[in-house]
Amino acid sequence: MQSRYAPYFFVAPFAILFCLFFAYPLGRSIMLSLYKAATPRMMQFVGLDNYRMLLKDRAFAAAVANTTYFALAFTLLQVPLSLGLALALNSRRLRFRQFFRFAFFSSNLVGNVFVAVIFSLLLAPRHGLINRAIGAVLPRVGTEVPWLSNPWLVMPAILMAALWLSVGFGMIYLLAALQGVDHELYEAAEVDGAGRWKKFQHVTLPSIAPVLRYLMLVGLIGAFQLFELPYVLFGQTTGPGGRAITVVMYLFTWGFEMGDIGYASAVGWALVMIIFLVTLMQFRTLYRAREAT
Amino acid sequence: MAGAMSFHLGKPILVMALVAVACGAALMARREPARKDLVVWVFAEEHSRAYQPIIDGFEMRTGLSVDLKLMNESAMGRSLQAIFANELRGAGVPDVVEVEINRVGKFFRPPVREVAFEPLRPMLESSGLYEQIVPSRYAPYTKQGVIFGVPHDVHPVGILYREDLFREAGIDLGAAGTWLEFQEACLKFQAFWRGRGVKNRHAVELYAAKVDYLVVMLMQRGVNLVDDYDRVHLDNPKVAETVAFYAGCVAGARRIAGESSGGEGPLARDVVDGNLCAFVCPDWRLALLKEAGGDALRGKLRLMPLPRSEAADAPTATYGGTMGAILRSSPRKQEAWGLLRELYFSHQSLAARRSDHVLPPIRAAWDDPAYQRGDPYFGGQRIDSVLIELAKQIPPRYVAPASGIAGIYLSQVLWKATRQVERKGTEGLTSACQVWLNEAATDLRRRIAQMSFDEGGG
């Protein structure tokens, strides 16, 4: 009797917590996305109207475009930058390697909100360090580059902050992967007459490919969930010309600023679909690339 | 130790489990602190500081106990939403709350009878306050004619400028009665200083892609993007004209604007350095600027009314604000009203506000001689008198659930307008703006109709 129920007993805490905090909210949010909702008493079933509205919603389209732009640029920049740093810090000739490793990773410890506040100071016109540096190096450009008020510069500003935060994180993973590459492979390649580039291309890259794939996947999914950085950097606004609004910010605006939980749920599920499709495409591309090599 | 008890998951897990059980037991055994008779939530530290002595007096006089809680503004908004959504009552639920003006709209989504705040007009009328308060100041806290909040303030807006620098350039900015004259004066000012090699001296702080001050200019012209009946006015021709003019001020050959990085500290620094020489200034900003600018700005600043676009426009608008409201679920509504009245309109409350230039919404209070004195910080200008004259003329500002999203649309149109100014100049800009605004208004109306629980919304 005791042994018959024991497995259920051990599984119960997870099952209860999962149902309470994952399955139920998921189911509830699907249901909510089919309603127009203001309060529990003020709910009206609208079927797929919220999703239909999303398809026509220009502001949502802008949020998707902004987020996609960020996600692509972030992924394309983060992985090479992390790899470059990891390669540099993996070199045995470099002194104070441990210090640099910690220094580059430490930005990851402070969190999005802190980084956003720091960058809002760094990018300030006239008084911000970045603008002062630009003014000193390029006097013709001056100290008034409107990073946070020119719609064209919004994404570069967010990207700068996001990369500063996360390049060190990718670097740590890639350092670990680089240190796991079998040295005998390098020796064999040298015997075959391979130069530095050939060794990198045919030994290093294939060996660390799983970590690169992982970083790209995690980076892309994280980038589609961008919220805190632009939210704080642009003072809880959608930024100039609405260029800082992301899908999660849009969800937040509808759910918590305008109180329409139904529409916000629909935005949430649209984001799930977008991430699912992008991940699927990425898997396929990477799978084809692996097959090709 | 053959008899020792073993725990197969290891000691750390056992210790953690024991600690968890002990904490749970302690929490369950803890007695809920008794709820005070009235609970007040505020988000501004200055308000909390000013209210405490008033509350002490109220408690002594009435025998009621009051719990004043200072909360983060966003956290308060979320808590109120949770309370309203789940129809909570009892211990953690406030009786009186203060809500920041920009956050009011979301609470007005349900139909009037379902809004979670108590309609206050009967109480205002029976207390004689209704007639005394600036009428247009009820607008932001009103849905379809029903008043749900009492205004804490008026917040009239003028333009504060560096009189010394404009005078040095031979320009009397205060004489500019229209926005066009203002722009001309600013262009001359900038040309004067550019001629002396001062490259970063901008005449006025205006944002190229943020719509806060554009909304102020629209309010002057009697236009709210969305009104209290959820009607959309984004496609009003005055909006197109104003966007086109504003875009010409922040971009292109006739640009007069620079930007600060936000907040009173950086703005004060820019004003001290002479990078930004005029800015839109609500009454609450004066005390903050005095503190941030210190002696460096003493005697150098003057306040002027907002220039107008047309003679019929108001010489001011309003920026920022707070409402005091009573929750419908409060079991002590009359007592809550008594407390709210004291917090906002008692002599003690009105006196506390005199020193920081923030005008109360009660018109009779403006007759106090303290408001007629010249202020040495502003070169002896009777700055409160100027504010009072403006406060008498403030146009109504409405805050609807869709006001925020309307701001996003306006911001997108402004961006298109500034791009056009940079590429082609201002020719044909008003009609282009009208086309963009028409599209945006159609979209917004569709969305309001979809989200509204009222009949005939949008």
Mean pLDDT in consecutive groups of 10 residues from the start of chain A, 293 residues? 77 92 92 84 86 89 93 94 92 82 86 91 89 91 87 92 93 92 89 88 90 90 92 84 89 84 93 91 80 71
| Interchain contact, B408 vs A238, CB within 8 Å | yes
Residue type, B57: G
- Residue written as token pair 């390697």: A97
List residues bridging with B322 in a β-sheet: B100
CA dist., res. B330 & res. A257, Å (int) = 24
- Nearest residue of B to residue A56 by CA position? B443
| Interchain contact, A40 vs B85, CB within 8 Å | yes
Neighbours of B225 (CB within 10 A): 26
| Interchain contact, B453 vs A44, CB within 8 Å | yes
Nearest-by-Cβ selection for A49 from B260, B266, B450: B450
- Phi/psi at B232 (5° precision): -90, 130
SS (H, E, C) chain B: CCCCCCCCCCHHHHHHHHHHHHHHHHHHHCCCCCCCCEEEEECCHHHHHHHHHHHHHHHHHHCCCEEEEECCHHHHHHHHHHHHHCCCCCCCCCCEEEEEHHHCHHHHCCCHHHCCECCCHHHHHHCCCCCCECHHHHHHHEECCEECCEECCCCEEEEEEEHHHHHHCCCCHHHCCEHHHHHHHHHHHHHHHHHCCCCCCECEECCCCCCHHHHHHHHHCCCCCECCCCCECCCCHHHHHHHHHHHHHHCCCCCCEECCCCCHHHHHHHHHHCCECEEEEEHHHHHHHHHHHHHHHCCCEEEEECCECCCCCCCCCECCCEEEEEECCCCCHHHHHHHHHHHHHCHHHHHHHHCCCCCCCEHHHHHCHHHHCCEHHHCCECHHHHHHHHHCCCCCCCCCCCHHHHHHHHHHHHHHHHHHHHHHCCCCHHHHHHHHHHHHHHHHHHHHHHHCCCCCCC
Contact between B199 and B269 under an 8 Å Cβ cutoff? The reply is: no
* Residues of A whose CB is below 8 A from B107: 259
- For residue B325, CA distances in Å to B55, B111, B141, B155, B379 come to 16, 17, 9, 18, 39
- Residue written as token pair 């019929």: B312
* Residue A262 CB contacts under 8 Å (≥ 6 apart), including other chains: A32, A33, A34, A35, A36, A37, A43, A46, A50
**For residue B4, what pLDDT band results from cuts at 50, 70 and 90?**
low
Tokens of A282: 């990425």
Tokens of B402: 């869709």
Q: Is B317 exposed, middle or buried (0-12, 13-18, 19+ CB in 10 A)?
A: buried
Nearest-by-Cβ selection for B451 from A40, A257, A263: A263
CA dist., res. B154 & res. B138, Å (int) = 10
| Interchain contact, B210 vs A148, CB within 8 Å | no
The pLDDT of residue B1 is 45
Mutate to test the interface with B, among A9, A45, A58, A265 (most CBs of B within 10 A): A58
Q: Does A49 touch chain B (CB under 8 A)?
A: yes
Which secondary-structure segment (H or E) carries A130? Answer: helix A129-137
- For residue B395, CA distances in Å to B212, B314, B321, B398, B445 come to 16, 7, 14, 10, 24
Q: Quick check: B76 pLDDT over 60?
A: yes
Which of A26, A262, A37, A236 has the alpha carbon at shortest distance from B84? Answer: A37
pTM confidence score: 0.84
B292-310 as b/e: b if 16+ CB within 10 A: bbeeebeebbbbbbbbbbe
CA dist., res. A141 & res. A129, Å (int) = 15
Helix (H, G, I), strand (E, B) or coil at A43: strand
CA dist., res. B45 & res. B70, Å (int) = 7
Edge-first strand listing for the sheet containing B150-151: B66-70, B38-42, B96-100, B322-326, B150-151
Model pLDDT for residues B342-351, shown as the tens digit of each residue: 999 998 888 8
Angstroms from B451 CA to nearest CA on chain A: 7
- Phi/psi at B200 (5° precision): -95, 20
- Phi/psi at A69 (5° precision): -55, -50
Mean pLDDT of chain B: 91
**For residue B276, what pLDDT band results from cuts at 50, 70 and 90?**
very high
- Phi/psi at B144 (5° precision): 45, 45
Contact between B364 and B63 under an 8 Å Cβ cutoff? The reply is: no
Helices (H), strands (E): how many in chain A? 14, 2
- Nearest residue of A to residue B102 by CA position? A257
Q: Quick check: B98 pLDDT over 60?
A: yes
* Residues of B whose CB is below 8 A from A140: none
Which of B396, B454, B436, B455 has the alpha carbon at shortest distance from B140? Answer: B396
Contact residues, A window 215-274, toward B, CB-based 8 Å cutoff: 235, 237-243, 245, 253, 256-261, 263
- From the CA atom positions of chain A, what is the Rg in Å? 24
State percent of chain B over pLDDT 70: 97
Spacing of C-alpha B226 from chain mean position: 16
Q: Does B15 touch chain A (CB under 8 A)?
A: no
Count of residues for chain A? 293
List residues bridging with B326 in a β-sheet: B96
Contact between A145 and A125 under an 8 Å Cβ cutoff? The reply is: yes
Neighbours of B393 (CB within 10 A): 16
Tokens of A14: 């997870």
CA dist., res. A135 & res. A153, Å (int) = 17
Tokens of A279: 């991940």
Which of B220, B419, B401, B202 has the alpha carbon at shortest distance from B305? Answer: B220
Contact between B93 and B329 under an 8 Å Cβ cutoff? The reply is: yes
**For residue B2, what pLDDT band results from cuts at 50, 70 and 90?**
very low
Q: Is B219 exposed, middle or buried (0-12, 13-18, 19+ CB in 10 A)?
A: buried
Helix (H, G, I), strand (E, B) or coil at A36: strand
Nearest-by-Cβ selection for B415 from A123, A125, A241: A241
Angstroms from B177 CA to nearest CA on chain A: 29
The pLDDT of residue B455 is 58
Give the best-scoring range by mean pLDDT among B130-134, B288-292, B369-373: B130-134
The pLDDT of residue B457 is 44
Contact between B44 and B322 under an 8 Å Cβ cutoff? The reply is: yes
Tokens of B26: 């302690």
The pLDDT of residue A1 is 53
Contact between A254 and A263 under an 8 Å Cβ cutoff? The reply is: yes
Mutate to test the interface with A, among B106, B190, B206, B250 (most CBs of A within 10 A): B106
Q: What is the mean pLDDT of residues B49-71?
A: 94
Per DSSP (E only), the strands in A188-290 are: none
DSSP string covering A168-200, please?
HHHHHHHHHHHHTS-HHHHHHHHHTT--HHHHI
**For residue B214, what pLDDT band results from cuts at 50, 70 and 90?**
very high
Q: What is the mean pLDDT of residues B397-419?
A: 91
Mutate to test the interface with B, among A132, A249, A258, A267 (most CBs of B within 10 A): A258
| Interchain contact, B261 vs A40, CB within 8 Å | no
CA dist., res. A248 & res. A272, Å (int) = 11
Model pLDDT for residues B134-146, shown as the tens digit of each residue: 999 999 999 999 9
